[in-house]
A and B are shown apart, each in its own frame.
Chain A
Amino acid sequence: MTTPWVTPARLCAGFALLLAVLAACVLHQNSAVGIAALWADGNDIAGVLARYNWLPRVTAALVGGAGLALAGVLFQQTLRNPLAAPTTLGVVGGVHLALLLGTLFAPALMLHARGLVGFAGGAGAMALVFALAWRRNLAPTVVVLAGLVVNLYFGALAVVLLLFNEEALRGMMIWGAGSLAQNNWDGVLYLLPRLAIAGVAAVALSRALALLDLDDTNARNLGISLAWLRAASLGLGVFASAVVIVELGIVGFIGLAAPSIVRLAGARRLASRLVWAPIFGGLLLAVTDQVLELITLNSSMLIPTGATTAALGAPLLLWLIPRLNLAREPGSPPSPAPRSQTPGRLVAVLAIGLVVAVIVALFVGQGADGWDWPFTRPWDETGLWRVPRVLAAGAAGAMLAVAGTVIQRVSGNAMASPEVLGISAGTGLGVLAVVLLLPGAGVPVLLGAGMLGALASLAVLVGLNARSDYEPERVLLTGISVLFLFDAVSKIVLAGGDPRTQQLLAWISGTTYYVELPLAATVAVLGLVLFAVVRPLQVWLDLLPLGMPTARSLGVNVGISRLLLLVLVALLTAGATLVVGPLSFIGLLAPNLVRIMGLARARHQLAGAAVLGALVMVMADWVGRMLLFPSEIPAGIVATLIGGSYFMWRLRRL
């Protein structure tokens, strides 16, 4: 834990000193006169650079970082969740999508009201999240679940736009990575008044918000309308983060990390966090930015600050996790869904659906002369290409669904999924490294690197969590950190504008395009073997969600069973990720859907989720291949769009 001599004030003072030193270095590197450039003659380029480029940039970083940290404090306080941040609540996805759409379809609007477009996107996404969670009185877990789903959903749409408008949206990739470069004071003048308003409003709300530290019943007894208080506080957070994101691009991690770090440094009360988190957030962003300035000063590289804060922040977060005192909130367990009386028949119906989908996917399609009837063309011009894709899509869908079911039962958390665990992100990092370091490497090398990445992220997961007995929250937090790292690195790469990145983008979005039969068969066999291993462990899956003491008293060795199940999840996820990319949605979706359908026992949920996962992926792959023929939409994205729509619709009645 923290040593007594660390206080928020000392921490911030240290960072301020660091910033001053760095700033002097950067100025000195920029021109021979150093700090004197700030008051140099009006037309001297060194003076212009210092006054209209460097100074606005530092100011924008300080102000923007403060805004994000403020949003983070509001989100975390309101939802009583240390993982709440603009990213986890759908805001970032909404702003991003709105700006992409604006650039493509309403350039005039973007010209005059860029901020409005972005804010509308962020607010729209948040409104959607509110609407989805309203019936549950905006309960923290439901809000975060809805936020993650909305973020993924909008992210999928954004990837489609980027994939098909590569050249037109190049600049948006830089924005998406959060470069803080400034040309004049416009950016700061945009940020400052808006964030000042947000700050004043947050202080005004702070007394009521502090009462949220009590539990719901007590707070309600004090006469607070919880739903409206939460809505006001979250809305304020959205405003602050949307303002920063529109102006500076997507700056990761600050909103999540600054509040957590000042809390660790001893700012326990809301009032003191409201003061210190924004100060620290601003300093953190400005320091990172100045370090990057120093590094890239005389090179031709572009390293965007926003993505780098996330990349640097991820290891910091990993370091923090064992030190983090996660107050285990009582939490609302997943609401009991109606139990189906005939689970076997339900699974059988799903299986029939899967068979039909496979037949359609294999035999129906478009060709050189439009739609073909089955068997009109030779097999090697149609089916030969389709078999590996259908097989791989089905196997990956089933594996992710099983992995999702297991991790959700082990953690007792409906929000858990393989991608949140970071295994898919680890695979992604491995593949990314190969694409960058060995241009033109073949598929086998990519696969090997992906497997190594998955194992490495598993090792991190186990290494950091063995001592805490695989406490579910810590495991999830570890996974999210790895996901952050992957997201950040891929954004840095995309911002560089390397022409190869388009292939990367396609793989990240989950296409089966690159799958060949041997790989598909290997993955399918791996899936079957792992499924056979999971089945005897179903007892654990039925008992673990009952809570540790109960499980233990029923004779389950909680530590070992969790470790074993985690390894299984990792293997299932790695296998599937090699095929459909790291950002699948099926692992989150399928287990929840079959639970809503009424498959409550582990045995039925596993089988149902596997079949449903395969069904959705096969359908998604086929639709993705046919919709814009001869271009293709990656199966992962279509699955997100199909499944996400259904999931959001059901979430309202959860």
Chain B
Amino acid sequence: MRRRAAAARAVPARRAICIGWLLGLALFFCAVPGFAQAEDAPRVAVIDWGQAQTLIAIGAPPVAMSQIPAYNEWVAAPDVPEGVRDLGLRVQPNMELLSQLDIDVITITSMYSGLRERLAPIAPVKTIDIYDGQGAVWEQTVESTRRLGALVGREAAADALINDTQARIDACAAQVPEQTKPLLVVQFMDARHVRVYTQNSLIGSVLERMGIANAWQAGGNYWGFATVPLERLASIDNARMVVVKPLPVGVAEEIDTSVLWHHLPAVNNAPVLYVPPVWGFGGLPSASRFARVLVDALGEDCSAGRAGS
């Protein structure tokens, strides 16, 4: 590579330097070590973050997945191993790139079913769904984990993840203080609107399994959430507010001065719990992450309360 670059430098024409640079760049990318795969494991490409997360958690990371930088910001855990290729936007995985990566199987959810026929010539496409508008999200999430495990030949690891998640949630459930009020789990869209997670969402399912009541009973959309203005929360008595971070710019300051926010029963009843980012449409890793951060928040609150009293 160095010799080639030196040769290019010797040629005076600017064009030659440019070509040499591009060639060097190509060689550099060739030299990037491919991700070490187990011999018989199929090369999988995924689009949905929940599936990517699950595959990484059962030790069979995909060859390629969508929007890795955004995943790091919003899903956060588990980390994407080095060498996984970025396919670009989730709605538009790069077809040319996909066709060049010798993919064995592509997994999608029905949200991306519009892409199915386009992807089919590249590799067999598997649709593995959590949200179908009717089934219980928790059972579907467990089932999709099993199917992903079977897909990559790691059934045992998938079962282990399922059991481990359940054990973790149970462990967290045991730490939930008694007399925990029903929780209202929200994520701020802007200072006047929140996304509330319904019972049939991943977050709602975790609450249920931890024995905590979900204060939002009004239902929501296909994906298990409702986007509502703050005043819609005013009628919910006897609940406690849980805010999933990150907060959009300026929201913390604006709700601080908001008379309505401070008079909401769910805010007034008890201090608001703020928890770190959790991907509400993820797989089991997101579920156990939510259980942990929630218990941490509740626990901190308890110890603080005890210290205070």
Contacts and interface: CB of A to CB of B under 8 A. Distances in A.
Given A167-B70, A179-B192, A368 B111 contact: no
B213 interface: no
A632 B117 contact: no
Contact of A183 (B26, B221, B254): B254
Interface stretch (B53-61, B136-144, B225-233): B225-233
A223 interface: no
Given A496-B227, A503-B114, A183 B95 contact: no
Interface stretch (A74-82, A143-151, A378-386): A378-386
A253 to B, nearest CB: 21
Interface string A509-551: 0010110100000000000000000000000000000000000
Contacts of B223: 498-499
B229 A181 contact: yes
A437 to B, nearest CB: 12
A503 B91 contact: yes
Interface stretch (B150-158, B165-173, B259-267): B259-267
Contacts of B238: none
Contact of B110 (A167, A439, A495, A632): A439
Nearest to A167: B74
Interface in A44-95: 45, 48-49, 52-54
Given A45-B263, A111-B253, A385 B229 contact: no
A163 interface: yes
Contacts of B12: none
Contact of A513 (B92, B111, B227): B92
B221 A498 contact: yes
Interface stretch (A13-21, A294-302, A308-316, A420-428): A294-302
B96 interface: yes
A618 B253 CA distance: 47
Interface in B217-267: 218-223, 225-231, 234, 248-251, 253-255, 257-261, 263-265
B190 A300 contact: no
B230 A174 contact: no
Interface residues of B, number: 71
Interface in B181-204: 188-193, 195-196, 198
B7 interface: no
Contacts of A381: 96, 99-100
Interface stretch (A207-215, A269-277, A369-377, A462-470): A369-377
A107 B253 CA distance: 12
B90 interface: yes
Interface stretch (B81-89, B283-291, B299-307): B81-89
B48 to A, nearest CB: 10
B68 to A, nearest CB: 10
Contact of B255 (A183, A301, A511): A183
Given A629-B94, A631-B89, A181 B221 contact: no
Interface string A173-213: 01100010111101000000000000000000000000000
B193 A171 contact: yes
Contacts of A440: 110-111, 113-114
B3 interface: no
A105 to B, nearest CB: 11
A4 interface: no
A372 to B, nearest CB: 8
Nearest to A114: B250
A502 interface: yes
A48 B94 contact: no
Contacts of A441: 114
A155 interface: no
Given A45-B234, A183-B191, A300 B226 contact: yes
B16 interface: no
A612 B53 CA distance: 46
B25 interface: yes
Interface string B25-57: 110111000000000000000000000000000
Interface string A156-174: 0000000110111011101
A630 interface: yes
Contacts of A171: 188-190, 193, 248, 251
Given A299-B218, A442-B114, A516-B118, A181 B230 contact: yes
A497 to B, nearest CB: 5
Contacts of B253: 111
Contacts of B29: 369-370
A53 to B, nearest CB: 5
A183 B260 contact: yes
A48 B268 CA distance: 13
Contacts of B270: none
A500 interface: yes
Contacts of A498: 221-223
A553 interface: no
A365 interface: yes
B224 to A, nearest CB: 11
Nearest to A376: B26
B249 A443 contact: no
A43 interface: yes
A506 interface: yes
Contacts of A497: 189, 195, 225, 227
Contacts of A107: 249-250
B37 to A, nearest CB: 15
A367 interface: yes
A498 B224 CA distance: 10
A300 B281 CA distance: 18
Given A183-B230, A632-B88, A53 B114 contact: no
A103 interface: yes
A110 interface: yes
B70 A370 contact: no
Contacts of B88: 628-632
Contacts of B30: 369
Nearest to A632: B92
A368 B226 contact: no
B5 interface: no
A368 B101 CA distance: 7
Given A300-B219, A368-B85, A184 B258 contact: yes
Contact of A502 (B91, B190, B198, B230): B91
B160 interface: no
Contacts of B99: 380-381, 385
A406 B265 CA distance: 62
Nearest to B235: A45
Contacts of A516: 117-118
B22 interface: yes
Contact of B95 (A369, A385, A446): A385
Contacts of B228: 300, 302
Nearest to B254: A183
Contacts of B94: 629-632
Given A368-B85, A630-B97, 20 more contacts: A43-B263, A163-B89, A174-B193, A179-B229, A181-B192, A181-B229, A184-B258, A298-B218, A300-B228, A371-B26, A377-B100, A439-B111, A439-B222, A442-B117, A497-B195, A498-B223, A500-B111, A506-B91, A514-B118, A631-B94
19 contacts: A45-B234, A45-B263, A48-B259, A49-B234, A49-B260, A53-B231, A107-B249, A107-B250, A114-B250, A179-B229, A182-B192, A183-B192, A300-B221, A381-B100, A446-B114, A514-B114, A630-B94, A630-B97, A631-B92
Interface of B: 22, 25-26, 28-30, 67, 70, 73-74, 85-92, 94-97, 99-101, 110-111, 113-114, 116-118, 188-193, 195-196, 198, 218-223, 225-231, 234, 248-251, 253-255, 257-261, 263-265, 281
Interface of A: 43, 45, 48-49, 52-54, 103, 107, 110-111, 114, 163-164, 166-168, 170-172, 174-175, 179, 181-184, 186, 298-302, 365, 367-371, 377, 380-382, 385-386, 439-443, 446, 495-500, 502-503, 506, 511, 513-514, 516, 628-632
Lowest 4 A-B CB distances belong to which pairs? A300-B226, A171-B190, A631-B88, A183-B258
